[in-house]
Every structure is written in C-alpha cells, then in structure tokens.
Amino acid sequence: MGSMPTGDIAPAQALVLTANAAKRVAWLIEQEGDKDLMLRVSVSGGGCSGFQYGFSFDKAVNDDDRTFERDGVVAVIDETSLELLAGAEVDFVEDLGGSSFQIRNPNATSSCGCGSSFAI
C-alpha cells in the first residue's frame, strides 16, 4: 500500500538528480566511451564560503558510498558528503552565463555568488 521497501532512504536523506542533470551526465559518459562511469558528487573544505562542491567520474563504489539513480545514470556520494547534502538536488543549467552543474542544497545557510561553495 505505497509503503517504501526496506533499505530505501527517506527523501530527506537522498541526493536527487534532475532530469536535465541525468541527461547531461549520460551525454558526458557517452563522450567518455565508458558506460561503467558514475557521477561522483563530493564536498570538500575550501571555497569562499567554507565548503565546496566537486563533480567527477568514478567507476568504483567505496564502502562508505551511497548511490542514487535517475534515468539510468548513477550518482555516487560518500556518507560524509551526503550528511552535508541530504535532500539536495543536482541540476544542470544552461543560461547566458554558460552551462554548469548546480546544487540546490537546503542545508546551506549561505553560498557564494558562483554557486560552487557554501556554508553550514
């Protein structure tokens, strides 16, 4: 009756890829020519606001990683980064300023103008 299967993560603890982000990641993976690649999302210290977002490709899932899927694309994030990004949405935006992956992080108390770093 609509109950979540055991083992699923509550949405507030999830990292969400938008359809635009999944489409762009799928295209980038196609350009790389390796269908086993996953988008790794990470948070590290630094940036103008205290923490900064990182995006890279990875083929490995480590013991402390969680995975999230959208339209056949897998995003992987370590549990420490997920604590800072729980409930966040990864989007791909194209506008006059260019195109980039952006994170809408409900946990951030402030962020820099370029959107690549944030504070808690």
Residue 14 confidence (pLDDT): 87
Q: What is the DSSP code (8-state) at residue 34?
A: -
- pLDDT tens profile 65-85: 999 999 999 999 999 999 989
- CA 35 to CA 97: how far, in whole Å? 30
The sheet that has 16-17: what strands, in order across it?
16-17, 89-95, 98-104
With 80 as the cut, is the pLDDT of residue 90 above it?
Answer: yes
Contact 36, 59 (CB under 8 A): yes
How is domain 14-119 classified at the architecture level of CATH?
Sandwich (2.60)
Q: Using alpha carbons only, how large is the chain's radius of gyration in Å?
A: 15
| Side-chain half-sphere CA neighbours of 14 within 13 A | 13
Give the residue extent of every domain in the chain.
Answer: 14-119
- pLDDT tens profile 1-53: 544 344 455 556 789 999 999 999 999 999 999 999 999 999 988 766 678 88
Residue 7 confidence (pLDDT): 47
89 burial type by CB count under 10 A (0-12 exposed, 13-18 middle, 19+ buried): middle
